[in-house]
Amino acid sequence: MSGITETYPEYGSTNQLDILRATQYDYLDRQNHIYLDYTGAGLAARAQLRAHHARLDGATYGNPHSENPTSRSATDLVEQARNRVLSYLNASPEEYQVIFTLNATGAAKLVGEAYPFAKNSRLVLTSDNHNSLNGLREYARRGGAGTKYVHMRQKDLRTDTEAVIKCLGHPIGWRRLRPSSRRRSGLFVYPAQSNFSGVRHPLSWIKVAQDLGYDVLLDAAAYLPTSSLDLSTVNPTFVIVSWYKVFGFPTGVGCLIARRDALVRLARPYFAGGTVKAATVAVPWHALTSGEAAFEDGTVNYLSIPDVHFGLDWISDIGIELIGTRVRCLTAWFMDSLLDLRHSDGSQMVILYGPRDMEARGGTVAFNFIDAEGKIVDERLVALESSRERISLRTGCFCNPGVGETVFGVSAKTLKHLAHQQEATFDDFLRIAHLPSGGAVRVSFGIASTVEDAEYFISFASKTYKDRVTTTDRLKPRLGC
C-alpha cells in the first residue's frame, strides 16, 4: 500500500475494494487504464452487466403504457425501481415521488420549465453550480423573476452561511403583502458537492431556505457516489441525480425526486404521450395524469430503469461508508503528494483549488501544474500527454463557470464586455477575461480506485512536468469550456 496506511490507517480497512477491483473491475488493469474521472462517470461492475443480460434473456418486456403481459412485466420492474430509490434515500412514499429522466440535467429542466416563477419571486443560486442549474435562470427571466448568486471565498471555494441568508432575503414587496396572500419566495438551488472542487456545502441550508419561504433544489449528482442522503432528516423540495455517476450503469437514466406537495404546484408547459389522462384535437383541451407520470414524457427507458434497482443493491451490499472511507483516504494522500511536488529550485509544481484538508469535501481534486518559469501549464497539454499514458482525467472548466471565475479572480466588470460578443469563440472569451488557462485539471476517485492509480499519476506528473518550460505551440483551439 506504498505507505498510505502510515498516514491514513483507515485505508487498510478498505481491502475488500481491492478484491472488487481485481474481480468486478478487472478490465481496468487488463486494458491498462488509469481511471481518475469518477466525478464524470462511475464504472460498471461485471455483476451489473451480467444481471442486465440475465434479465433480458429471461423474460420479455414491452412498452409500459398498457396492460398486456409484457407491458405489465415492464411496469412492475419500473415501479420496483421507484420504490428502491425512495428506500435508498430513506424517503417516505407519502412525502416523495420519483420521476425518471434521462439524467440530472433533464431532472433540473423539468423543475425549471414548470416552476411558478413570478415578479415577486426569486431564483437564488450559489455561484458553485453546474451549468445544468445555471440554465434555470432563463426560466426565471421568462417568468419575470430575478436571479441572484451567492458568491464563494476565493481561498477555499466555500460559501458562508451568512452570505446565503443575506441573498435569500425576502424579495422586494414581500413584506407589504398580507400573510394570507404572500407567495413563495422562490427557488434556492445548490449542489451538495461541487463537481469542480469537491467542496461539500451544508445540507443545513435546506431548512434555512425553507424557513424563508423558498423551495430548494438540491443537486446530489456528485455527492451520492460516496455518501448517503437521508431525506427523512433533510427535506429538500427537489433532488436531482444521475445514476451512472453513482454506479456506472445504466447511462441515460436519472431521477427527479420531488415532494408531492411541490409537484402539484408545478405547471407543465407541455404534454406528451403517457403524461395525460386524455387530450382532444377538435378543441385544445387536455388533462394531465397525476403524480410522476405527468412528468415522464413519452416512454420511459423501461429496459434500463431496473438496472438502477440492481445498482442500488450493489452499492448497498458493498457499503457506501466503505467506499467513502477509501475515497477520503486516497483524496487526502493524493493532495499531500501533489503539494509535495517541486521543481529542482524548490518552487511548487502545483496550484490546488479548494480546501487542502478533508473536512466537508469529497473525492474531487482540481488543480493546475506550474512549469519551471512559473506559468500555468495549459490544460490542453495535460489532457494530451496524460491520454498518451492511458490516464483518464478531466480538464477544462467542468461546466462550472462560477468556480472558474472565482479561482482566477474574474470580475463582473471584466465580463460585461461579453454582452457584445455573441459570436466569440471560447479562446476569445479567455482573452477578454485575461485568463491564463481554460480551466483546470480534475482528478476524482471512486469505488474501484487504488493507491496504485494515484501513485501512477504522481509519477507521471513528476516525470512530465518537473523542471520543464511548456509552450502552447501546436495545441488545437478550444471549442468550448
CB-based contacts of 243, cutoff 8 Å, min separation 6: 250, 253, 254, 255, 308, 311
Cα gap 415→433, rounded to integer Å: 6
167 in active site: no
Cα dist. 152→127, 201, 204 in Å? Answer: 7, 11, 17
Neighbouring C-alpha atoms within 13 Å toward the C-beta of 423: 0
In three-state secondary structure terms, 318 is: helix
| Block residue for cell numbers 423501461 | 302
Dihedral, CA of residue 342, residue 343, residue 346 and residue 351, to nearest 10: -50
Contact 315, 246 (CB under 8 A): yes
Q: Of these residues, 167, 329, 397, 399, which one is catalytic?
A: 399
Cis peptide before 250 (omega within 30 of 0): yes
- Please, what's the b/e burial string for 205-225 (b: 16 or more CB within 10 A of its CB; e: otherwise)? bbebbbebbbbbbbbbbbbbb
Say how many Å lie between the first and final Cα of the chain, rounded: 37
DSSP 423-471: T--HHHHHHHHT-SSS-EEEEE--TT--HHHHHHHHHHHHHHHTTPPP-
Catalytic residues: 399
